[in-house]
Amino acid sequence: MTNGAAIGYMIIAARKAGLDDEAIQRLESAMYQEMDRVTEGEAEHVYQNS
């Protein structure tokens, strides 16, 4: 999955969850930062153990 696709899924889910545009923009920014810092394997491990 590309970073863009992951961000797209997040935006769709955030809208369905009722987040406002400002919150979605903050979340998008945080996701891009973490995508640069954390490997896919590390992210998958966090998901599997949450």
pLDDT recorded at residue 46: 95
Contact assessment for residue 18 and residue 39, using Cβ atoms and an 8 Å cutoff: no
Q: Percent of the chain scored above 70 by pLDDT?
A: 100
Contact assessment for residue 1 and residue 10, using Cβ atoms and an 8 Å cutoff: no
H or E stretch at 37: helix 21-37
pTM of the predicted structure, to 2 decimals: 0.83
Residue 17 falls in which region: left (phi positive, over 0), alpha (psi -120 to 50) or beta: alpha
Cα separations in angstroms, 47 against 16, 20, 21, 22, 50:
20, 24, 25, 25, 5
